[in-house]
Amino acid sequence: MGFIQRRVIFNQDRYHPFPHCVLKLIVPTEYDTLLTWIDRSDNIGSDIAKYRFTNSKGCLIRESGFFKKEDGFCKDTLDRLTIAAQQIYGDGLWTVEGLDEIARKIDKRDSIICKTKSLWREKKIERINGLQFVISSRRGPGHLFCEPYEQLGARTEFVQGGKRWNLSFAFECKNKDSRNFRKRAYTILQSIQIDTLVNN
């Protein structure tokens, strides 16, 4: 399995003030499709720009608004990376204690909806390639369906145009060969470069 260099160009318009920058990274060669869309919210300023690398033969649904469940569409196989950008208001959860609190909320939700909890593999803060990431990984149910699958979330922040921006990376894998899931995710994280097009 090889990797290929890709770019994500964040565009902004009068209705969606997203960061004006270019994200450079490598992704697996089988990620031959890039989906782009706005995940809309009924809360002002809560729309999220999303960019998803996946395989053209895989699950190509783009969730938006209140449509989150993909049960029945992506149940058999899932292998993708979703990147989301959103402006930061207030403080972020940049502590291990904050990650523990998020994990408790996820476990509580899953125990009610799916009658099970996740196996948490790691919760940490790590500097990678000059960027500070908050990272958590687990095998368990998610917002897609209750059957356990591999998930790794990482997020970092940067300043552009005088504003703070959150950039999150959601790695998801549910197939027969997920042994190298975390290793592959970290390889991608180590390649990330953020080029701002406007002076900070």
24: Cβ contacts below 8 Å, ≥ 6 apart: 5, 6, 7, 191, 192, 193, 194, 195
Element (H, E) at 186: helix 181-190
Is residue 164 classed exposed, middle or buried when 0-12, 13-18 and 19+ CB atoms within 10 A define those classes?
middle
Interval 30-44 mean pLDDT: 81
Residue 183: phi and psi, rounded to 5, are: -60, -40
Q: What is the pLDDT of residue 199?
A: 47
Q: Quick check: 59 pLDDT over 80?
A: no
Residue 148: phi and psi, rounded to 5, are: -60, 145
The first and second tokens of residue 197, run together, are: 């097009």
pTM of the model: 0.88
Q: Which domains does the chain have, with CATH numbers?
A: 3-38+49-55+75-196 (3.40.1000)
Q: Quick check: 88 pLDDT over 70?
A: yes
Q: What is the pLDDT of residue 66?
A: 52
